[in-house]
Amino acid sequence: MSARVLVLNGPNLGRLGSREPDVYGSTTYAGLVERCTAAGAELGLAVEVRETNDEGELIRWLHEAADQRLPVVLNPGAFTHYSYGLRDAAAQRTAPLIEVHISNPYAREEFRHTSVIAAVASGTIAGFGIGSYVLALRALAAQAGEGPAA
C-alpha cells in the first residue's frame, strides 16, 4: 500500500501556465498535478494535489494532515510571507512537511525573502521550477524508506 501525501498549494497557483510564465514557467496547474502524481507513483506514494486561494481552507487541510499524520508538500504562495495562522497550523504537523517554491524567493523582491513557514517545516526546496515538488516528494519517500533521495 502506498503512503499518502498531500501536496497543498496556496493562492494563485491554480493560474500556473498563464501567471508570469517568465517566473513560474509554462507548466499549467493540470501539468503540475500530473507531474506530482506520476512522481509519487514512481516513489510508492499516493499523492493528492490540492489548490486554494482561501487561507482558511489551507489551514483546514493542514489540520487534516496533522490529524491523519500525513506528510505534506506545501507551497503557501504569498501566504509564505505573512500568514501566522498558516504558520501555526503547519507547526502542528505530526509528519514531515516540506515547504516548496517554484521560483527562488531570495532572487526576487525583498518582501519575498521572509518565510514565516520555514521555521516550522522539515525543510524548504525552492528555485527548481515544478521540479521543486518532485524533489520534495523524493525527500519524503527517502524519509519513509520507500525510495531514493536523489
By annotation, the residues acting in catalysis are 24, 101
Strand partners, 105: none
113 is in an annotated binding site: no
How many CB atoms lie under 10 A from the CB of residue 1? 5
103 is in an annotated binding site: yes
Distance CA 93, CA 15 (A): 27
88 is in an annotated binding site: yes
81 is in an annotated binding site: yes
112 is in an annotated binding site: yes
22 is in an annotated binding site: no
DSSP states of 54-90 as a string? -HHHHHHHHHHHHHHT--EEEE-GGGGGT-HHHHHHH
